Structure 1
């Protein structure tokens, strides 16, 4: 899905996605308001990015 060119770019993408997740969660009064599928998708993207960096 995402193919970062360098580890620095991959880390930057991961940090961007993590900040989106944090703002998503932080903007909700109750964590149950966050849709699980949205969160799972974002976290799987972060996982994929970090896997690409460590290869």
Structure 2
């Protein structure tokens, strides 16, 4: 679910810890996703990770 505060039930079923499951980011690709869309997402994540983007521990 988009924006869900709950960890992924799939990750939990795979044995991933709750803490790690709550620290994941999910990207979904569809039929109309382009290479440019993927490159844009990669560059955005690079900027976020480089600058910290104000993420804090829960």
TM-score by length of 1: 0.40
Q: Which has the higher helix share?
A: 1
Larger Rg: 2
Q: Which has the higher contact order (CA 8 A, sep 6+)?
A: 1
TM-score by length of 2: 0.38
